[in-house]
Amino acid sequence: MPYQETYRSRDNIFTVALENCGVPVNLNGITKMELLFPDFIIDSKNNPEVFDWSKGAGIIEFRLGNLQEIRPGKYLPSLILYDQTNPNGVNFGKFSLEVKPL
């Protein structure tokens, strides 16, 4: 996944497009998403406003700028997706994220 950036205390949105062998991942059956950071986890159950996977074609929009847990800095969070057939989650890997100050 490519480099992403967002700004602390701002409404910036960034998008990630998930593919498997060049085909967009079907996100219709997803029950939960997590971003695993070194010191904390952000998930779609506790922070539904952060994750939007309703766009289709494997696209996920993230709104992270207003979360207090995220301080300015560079991160490599892992993206975990859960569905009925994968109750323990599927790790889609890490991406480079930079959170910039105001």
* Section 64-78 average pLDDT: 91
Specify the pLDDT at position 1: 61
pTM, to two decimals: 0.90
Domain ranges for the chain, please list them: 4-100
Dihedral angle, C-alpha 39, 96, 70, 80, nearest 10 °? -60
Write out pLDDT tens, residues 32-63. Answer: 999 999 899 999 999 999 999 999 999 999 99
Topology adopted by domain 4-100: Immunoglobulin-like (2.60.40)
